[in-house]
Amino acid sequence: MRFGTTGMEITRVGFGAWAVGGRWQHGWGGQDDADSVAAIRRAVEAGVNWIDTAAVYGLGHSEEVVAAALDGLPEADRPYVFTKGGEVWDDAGRVTRVATPGSLRREVEASLRRLRVERIDLYQVHQTPESGAPVEDYWQAMTELKAEGKVRAIGLSNHDVARLEAAERVGHVDSLQPPFSAINRSQADRVAWCAAHDTAVIVYSPMQSGLLTGAFSAERAAALPADDWRRSAPDFTTGLAANLALADALRPLAERHGVGLGAVAVAWALAWPGVTGAIVGARRPGQVDGWTPAAGLALDDADIEAVTAAIRATGAGRGPASISELPA
């Protein structure tokens, strides 16, 4: 797929390295680095040509794991490396959203060292800063990093349409990374904005952090460890019953196409107009095999309507059930 105006061509699915960061404030619990490296390499062997991580995942550890996984790969086989900045932490592990020009410059140098690369293929501002600083301030710094060759392309993650508009007036927004799945459709307006501005969109959590894999249950939710962020998240507590009902309603689609439920969930996100690629995580090599078929799975109109009907019937999640429900 053409990655916006960046000149890069990316596969429809990319490897998400959030969980491989291990334990931290917003982690998924303990993680074995050997499993992480094996999972990344399995994805690359399957043809996935980009990895998305962030400095804050595991407080730097995810980037180090990505570097270890790519170590020794021939240049022709190396995937693009995307990462994110704008979040810093102290010695106690407390994270602060900063995104000042000076901080971003320091952070990109730290990410280059951890990733062991000379240039980052896509550098993204992870979150809006807690200070409420204007996006114009930090986006100007991002355009300078791109002009200096520190990064190849620049993007925003978790930013709304108003901030996208403001950033675009400073310099083109190469990409946006929003959460998007059949459960979380709340940022469909941002995807539509990107489609109108030739901005690539790589969505995260298309399987809603495990809820749409077909392997989740109420019992599994209750057994999540205390240091797994999902334990207290609304989608895994108050919204759990409706979300699991939606997953069950999608099983016939998966059976019809001969793939796992997770592949259908990812394919649905990819079918949404304006979506360029989907970030899908894995903690073990075997998990990769469950979602890589999504890249080649084309849902037809009847399939899309079946998902829309299931969303409406179960009342799961939030946001429009189809693009026709977006405001004109």
Beta strands 95-97 and 87-89 are: antiparallel
Residue 193: in which H helix or E strand, if any? helix 188-196
User: Where are the extended beta strands (E) located within the chain?
Assistant: 13-16, 50-52, 80-85, 87-89, 95-97, 120-125, 151-157, 175-177, 200-204, 277-281
Give per-residue pLDDT as tens, 232-246. Answer: 899 999 999 999 999
pLDDT over threshold 80, residue 27: no
Give per-residue pLDDT as tens, 83-129. Answer: 999 999 999 989 999 999 999 999 999 999 999 999 999 999 999 99
Share of the chain residues as helix, strand and coil, in percent rounded to the nearest 5: 45, 15, 40
- Asked if residue 321 is part of any domain, the answer here is no
22-26, 40-44, 49-53, 144-148: which range is least confident on average? 22-26
Residues forming beta bridges with residue 176, ordered by sequence position: 156, 201
3-class DSSP state of 299? coil
Residue with tokens 């890589």: 292
Give per-residue pLDDT as tens, 157-168. Answer: 999 999 999 999
Give the span between the Cα atoms of 113 and 120, in whole angstroms: 11
Angle, alpha carbons 34-124-164 (nearest 5°): 145
- Asked if residue 247 is part of any domain, the answer here is yes
pLDDT-based confidence at residue 321 (cuts at 50, 70, 90) = confident
Give per-residue pLDDT as tens, 287-305. Answer: 998 888 888 999 999 999 9
**pLDDT: is 26 or 76 the higher one?**
76
Residue-averaged pLDDT of the chain: 94
Residue with tokens 């309507």: 305
3-class DSSP state of 154? strand
Number of domains observed in the structure of the chain:
1
Torsion angle (degrees, nearest 10) of CA 11, 30, 205, 126? -90
Enumerate residues 6+ apart whose C-beta is below 8 A from 141: 100, 101, 104, 105
pLDDT over threshold 90, residue 323: no
- Asked if residue 2 is part of any domain, the answer here is no
Model pTM score: 0.94
- Asked if residue 7 is part of any domain, the answer here is no
- Asked if residue 272 is part of any domain, the answer here is yes
pLDDT over threshold 70, residue 61: yes
Give the span between the Cα atoms of 218 and 249, in whole angstroms: 16
Q: Would you put residue 252 in left (φ > 0), alpha (ψ -120 to 50) or beta?
A: alpha
Give the span between the Cα atoms of 217 and 244, in whole angstroms: 7
Give the pLDDT of residue 137.
94
Give the pLDDT of residue 290.
84
Give the pLDDT of residue 48.
96
For 177, the token pair is 């990374």
| CATH number (domain holding residue 54) | 3.20.20.100
Give per-residue pLDDT as tens, 257-276. Answer: 999 999 999 999 999 999 99
Give per-residue pLDDT as tens, 172-183. Answer: 999 999 999 999
pLDDT-based confidence at residue 25 (cuts at 50, 70, 90) = confident
Angle at which helices 135-147 and 161-170 pack, to 10 degrees?
A: 50
pLDDT-based confidence at residue 34 (cuts at 50, 70, 90) = very high
Domain residues for the domain of 163 are 13-315
- Asked if residue 161 is part of any domain, the answer here is yes
**pLDDT: is 44 or 31 the higher one?**
44
Give the pLDDT of residue 328.
64
Rounded to an integer, the average pLDDT of 9-22 is 95
3-class DSSP state of 88? strand
The number of beta carbons lying within 10 Å of the beta carbon of residue 315 is 13
Give the span between the Cα atoms of 190 and 196, in whole angstroms: 10
Give the span between the Cα atoms of 199 and 184, in whole angstroms: 21
